[in-house]
Amino acid sequence: MCTIFIVTVYRSPTGNIDYFLNNFTEALNHIYNNTVDIILYGDFNINYLNDNQDKQALNSLLTSYSLYSIIDFPTRSFNNSQTMIDNIFINKFRNENYLVSPLINGLSDHDAQVLSLFNIITPDDTNEFYSYKKNQ
């Protein structure tokens, strides 16, 4: 049986990165083990188009859970500038057969990202939803 955790994240652009990373580590520790597959996506407010300390810190953390960025295109356009602050992280070794593409929806300055995973077999008999939020 395959267990998949789909986790969505929003990190405030003015939030303390160390506070975020510490609490995010705690949340990932609750769900991570070698038998689960984690799909992590959201607005991290860390620009992956540029090399920076926040990007390096997040990559270092997520690599320890075998999660890697798969977005390679700008996700936000504002005032003639582009950033890649929205991202998707997956275990690329477990999910080698995937396709990711932008979806320009015109509803905001952020574009959506569409992830298609192929060759995944999931059971149809149970669907469970868990929510975890740590208040500041």
The domain spans of the chain are 3-117
The CATH label, of 3.40.50.620, 3.60.10.10, 3.40.50.300, 3.30.360.10, for the domain at 3-117 is 3.60.10.10
Residue 112: name the closest of 81, 88, 78, 79 by CA.
Answer: 88
Per residue in 77-134, pLDDT (tens digit) is 778 888 888 999 999 888 778 888 778 877 776 778 878 888 766 556 566 666 667 7
Flag whether pLDDT at 73 surpasses 90: no
How far, in whole angstroms, is CA 102 from its chain's centroid? 15
State the pLDDT at residue 63. 96
What pTM was estimated for this model as a whole? 0.81
Retrieve residue 122's tokens.
């999931």
